[in-house]
Structure 1
């Protein structure tokens, strides 16, 4: 067992693949991720099959698609499916398995096969659990003060962090993760899962990291002609929910705060790597870094996730092998189609452990490659589906039966919609057939006579958001228990 590699699996929340200097981003500072990319393999076509927190994390933890694990909506009261989890598989294989950070499952203290979890759940005590980070703040004399900055988890207001640097959740997750590494049983290999809550809003970075970015040098969101015309209801609902009247300097300020959260995490990763090195286990540790989904950050006048444009659905995916391993190439970019369902089988295969038959994903380092990656999100007027063949991406909005086709080889920023153009009829037909082949549940009602038909959307509701995006308040004493099925902070 001692010859098996340790596994450090790091996941960030709401970090797009393109927000990394190694991926060509003009502004972001990510020296740690960039060095890890040089040491290992970066997958340039990695996607979240359902770019919303809970469904994406169910996919990661079980190696299954939303169809298998049962959620493409965001169902906060849905228990984990009865499948082997990645943590349980490692424990069954003789590993110790520990997690720190955001897990986003119900009930919150479900350990999902881990020996133990130190939890940071973005201030959700009303769902039945005071998490470990909130308890830490209380121990430090700041009970219930996590959200006294006034920002919220589903909006793009921003300001510097209001408490001491050591109290920031990014520092807490790093510190507890480093201690987790130090507390390991030296006679057994370890599977460590570190799950950062940022750069998901609230946008409350340390001021020192905001100061690293000059406002006038921050890049601006993308614009496209197709985004200036009539939009599918799923997109117009997003624009109604989040303001789009920001001036350029405001857009740059939002992005600066977001990038500051990213660079903070990037630097904290060095603490984890340094701990592994000083504990003399770094050389025998596989490192995988990804996110659950991305963030539109104003591209095309859109915010947050739930759509299949690159900023929302494409995720960073970096894998560094153990020293001397021939399984993972160094300084390599792999353009095969990868999904979050592939994380579990990849890590198990690198550890030499069996992959359960329930797993839908495939190892990122095997000879098997997929021809089509299917994506699915929501089942109402916000529903959207994706079929991706590695070059061409077809996006379908069933409400209004709207199609978009992008050639990511010639148009990586998705500025030109090719749907309906004669010269792309063949590839569009192929991807439409893939959408129909993957249809299940309500999707079958939106396919008529072997063709995508969609449905007529209801009149758009224009009521304001009286819940202010799920605004948090003072959390001491804790707020009363709430229905865990109640979802807030989204267009619908």
Structure 2
């Protein structure tokens, strides 16, 4: 058994045909869904790249691993999926993005050389790196990880100070012949300079195929992690022109949302990217490019799936496809990701188990509340590795894949640390209090906002999440119920990871460690409890 774990970056769940999209054609991912289980209520642990991915890679909630924002290091010693797999002799390889930031100070404090094999493994979030490409490869970015793609572009005649930016994310103005930056949204309708066969998506697909070809008979997990359709929103030809303003779905928003009485939401609507994506002219330029990037990804996955079929790997490889979060794209008058609307916090998740035990669920959908942290537990289960519930806070999806109905969670949890966002500073909120928590039970979505009233949405009567009921006294019972669910989740053990439950139970049965005798009046009393005192004493 092997695992191919494919992750896209900033891909909305509702931009795939298998999830009901009619404005875009994604036949290869639709085919994948027909072979496995499509999870329809999958949520990330945070709707932003870094913390979401650290939860995927540790199997732990954001409050547990502590890397709550992009660039916040994952602390040294935090167990990762790669650590668990290596213990069982499974290779855990990376092809693409992780957004991992190493805890260099922590390694130095413990005397770990970051350049040593152990240090490199810690620095890469437990992965063995075949190639790392984080996508945000601007020259000024503090952690580029672009050397491989830069070298590839130069080898194909695309040189420059920063080939990633100058070719993959720059266009040529047809009217003037001048170079136009993909960072500027107004240029999103132009084709990237890079030919489609050399785009980052095509290149990562090739590298993923090369990784799989290099594996022998030993079990492996390959994390093939694409950086698109994440911004910059610039697609290579012909994908830049496959869709136009008439093809894009209308924005999901209402005038009433702009009149919100919630201070945090009012501040958020004032952010520059929210102001941009609130304009129809911006959506008309950006969303077609976004759709083109999604289409390109689907086409490249078709090439990957062809290779798996031709090589026989389709029969011995579990395939998992997901995203690290979505993209607001102007919905709710917002840009970027952020917050817990379904366009941002809900993700596509497709799991294909090739074994016969999964035959009864092929092409089905699961409505259970699923979290990103469920994947590491699923991967351990797939490889026959004993579960580690004292470390992994997620649950294996294997029962759902094999037609069982397991005892399951009642709600999904997602967290958001907005300490670095301008909405926090605009409101004068202390960075320690800049946190949000979502509790979603399949119908009601409750959002705890520290220092402010909660937000509440009823997705049964308001599936587009246009009406915040958090200030309505008529829904006080639901708010109280979900507040208690949040409190219950917060009271759970989140950091007791060094001892499994069976060892703790053994300690409880033993009452005290060997050689420790507390509270016994005399020898006979101790012996009556099965704890004889040492032979060299008589009292």
TM-score by length of 2: 0.75
Aligned residue pairs total 433
Is the CA contact 1:64–1:341 (under 8 Å) kept in the aligned structure 2? Answer: yes
Map 1:174-189 onto structure 2 (within 5 A): 174-185=205-216, 187-189=217-219
- Give the corresponding residue for 1:163: 194
The counterpart of 1:134, out of the listed 114, 137, 150, is: 150
Is the CA contact 2:277–2:334 (under 8 Å) kept in the aligned structure 1? Answer: no
Map 1:87-486 onto structure 2 (within 5 A): 87-107=82-102, 110-122=123-135, 123=137, 127=142, 129-141=145-157, 142-143=159-160, 144-148=162-166, 149=170, 150-151=180-181, 158=188, 159-185=190-216, 187-230=217-260, 231-234=262-265, 236-242=267-273, 243-244=275-276, 247-326=279-358, 329-356=361-388, 357-366=390-399, 367-378=406-417, 380=419, 381=424, 383-398=435-450, 401-439=452-490
Distance 1:234 1:420, change over 3 A: closer
- Distance in 2 of aligned mates of 1:190 and 1:19: 30
- Distance in 2 of aligned mates of 1:91 and 1:311: 35
Superposed displacement of residue 183, structure 1: 1.1
* Counterpart secondary structure, 1:162: coil
- Distance in 2 of aligned mates of 1:195 and 1:279: 21
- Distance in 1 of aligned mates of 2:253 and 2:74: 40
> Could you report, residue by residue, the CA deviation over 1:388-444 in whole angstroms, capped at 9, with x for unpaired residues?
112110123335x1432112223221122233445533222111223344459xxxx
Is the CA contact 2:42–2:349 (under 8 Å) kept in the aligned structure 1? Answer: yes
> Could you report, residue by residue, the CA deviation over 1:31-64 in whole angstroms, capped at 9, with x for unpaired residues?
1111111111111111111111110111011100
* Counterpart secondary structure, 2:164: coil
Distance 1:176 1:28, change over 3 A: same
Name the stretch that deviates more: 230-239 or 261-270.
Answer: 230-239
Q: Does 1:47 align with 2:43?
A: yes
Name the stretch that deviates more: 213-222 or 32-41.
Answer: 213-222
Distance 1:153 1:173, change over 3 A: farther
User: RMSD of the alignment, in Å?
Assistant: 2.4
- Give the corresponding residue for 1:23: 19
Is the CA contact 2:185–2:282 (under 8 Å) kept in the aligned structure 1? Answer: no
- Give the corresponding residue for 1:480: none
> Could you report, residue by residue, the CA deviation over 1:49-85 in whole angstroms, capped at 9, with x for unpaired residues?
11111101110111000111012233x1514552332
> Could you report, residue by residue, the CA deviation over 1:136-165 in whole angstroms, capped at 9, with x for unpaired residues?
223333242221215466968513211222
- Give the corresponding residue for 1:453: none
Judging by fraction of residues, say which structure has more helix. Answer: 2
Superposed displacement of residue 259, structure 1: 0.8
Gaps of 5+ in 2: 104-119, 171-179, 400-405, 425-433, 492-539
TM-score by length of 1: 0.82
Distance 1:426 1:7, change over 3 A: same
Distance 1:96 1:244, change over 3 A: closer
- Distance in 1 of aligned mates of 2:76 and 2:463: 36
Distance 1:156 1:327, change over 3 A: farther
> Could you report, residue by residue, the CA deviation over 1:219-269 in whole angstroms, capped at 9, with x for unpaired residues?
121112441203533553353321347653541331111011111111111
Distance 1:438 1:166, change over 3 A: same
Distance 1:116 1:244, change over 3 A: closer
- Distance in 2 of aligned mates of 1:342 and 1:313: 15
